Amino acid sequence: MSYSPFIVPHDKLPETLPIFPLPGAIVMPGSELPLNIFEPRYLNMVSDALSSHRMIGMIQPDPNARDANALYHTGCAGRITQYRETNDGRVEMALSGVCRFDLGVELSTTRGYRLIVPDWSRFSGDYNNHEDQLQSEHDYLVRMLKRYFDAKGLQTDWSVLERLSTVRLMNSLSMALPISETDKQMLLEAVEAAQRLHTLKSLLDSGLQAPGSITRH
């Protein structure tokens, strides 16, 4: 992650964190997730975050659990870096990924949203972008991605993607590719960047071998 004076250091991350369970949506450290907030409980969440540390944890519901409120064990916290209120009562905002967390104790709250004690301990490496380890993979990843886009009939602005660092490109793809919630979670939970890159290349390769979708069921 590139240095920003607004990013909270790992040892100063908040002891409690509001969470936004959303299937199919993840944010990765150093990447940006646009959000459209309209439910009253989540408007409360945004208001409370803005008045404190400006951080919200994105986490996916666990589709394989019997409990409808069950969540995956790992999510990623982001900082609200853009915010706009609309005339119809919504909030449009951008969440910039800071650090992943493991799910801790859930706390009671009267504001409607869910609040947890996050465990940040496994993810201090999120503050190191690991670009020096992965730079040699950049051109190969772009070529593989172009093959995938050609096979699926997709279009993008390659001049933008090609300028991204390997880590930024990898994290952006982890968030944006049309893959299953399970696969997105697998990418999110890969602690080391090299492990995430290996997983991502495997998913792209699977997509090239199975035209139509790389979503696995």
Tell me the average pLDDT across 1-28. Answer: 88
pLDDT at 6 (0 to 100): 78
CA atoms of 84 and 94, how far apart (whole Å): 9
Calpha distance 103→144 (Å, rounded): 34
Amino acid at 156: T
Mean pLDDT for 20-29 is 96
Q: How far apart are CA 116 and CA 47, in angstroms?
A: 17
Name the segment(s) of the chain with CATH classification 2.30.130.40. Answer: 10-127
Q: Are 118 and 103 in contact (CB under 8 A)?
A: yes
Closest C-alpha among 195, 47, 17 to residue 115: 17
Average pLDDT over residues 201-216: 69
* Strand order across the 32-37 sheet: 32-37, 91-102, 74-85, 55-59, 17-21, 114-116, 106-107
Q: Cα separation of 137 and 155, whole Å?
A: 22
Does pLDDT of 160 surpass 80? yes
> Quick one: pLDDT at residue 213?
45
Integer Cα distance of 12 and 73 in angstroms: 22
Q: Residue 67 is encoded by which pair of tokens?
A: 């409990």
Query: Across residues 182-192, what is the average pLDDT?
Result: 95
CA distance 203 to 163: 22
Q: Across the chain, what does the average pLDDT equal?
A: 90
Cβ neighbours for 198, distance < 8 A, ≥ 6 positions apart: none
Q: Which CATH superfamily is domain 10-127 in?
A: LON domain-like (2.30.130.40)
Q: pTM of the full predicted structure?
A: 0.89
Phi-psi label, residue 37: left if phi above 0, alpha if psi -120 to 50, beta otherwise:
beta
Confidence of residue 131 (pLDDT cuts 50, 70, 90): confident
Interval 93-126: pLDDT, tens = 999 999 999 999 999 999 999 999 999 999 999 9
Strand (E) positions, 67-147? 74-85, 91-102, 106-107, 114-116
Query: What pLDDT is attached to residue 157?
Result: 87
Strands 32-37 and 91-102: antiparallel
Give the tokens for residue 37: 């907030």
Rounded CA-CA distance 119/165 in Å is 28
**Quick one: which of 172, 170, 182 has its CA closest to 216?**
182
Q: Is the pLDDT of residue 214 over 70?
A: no
Quick check: 71 pLDDT over 90?
yes
pLDDT > 90? residue 151: no
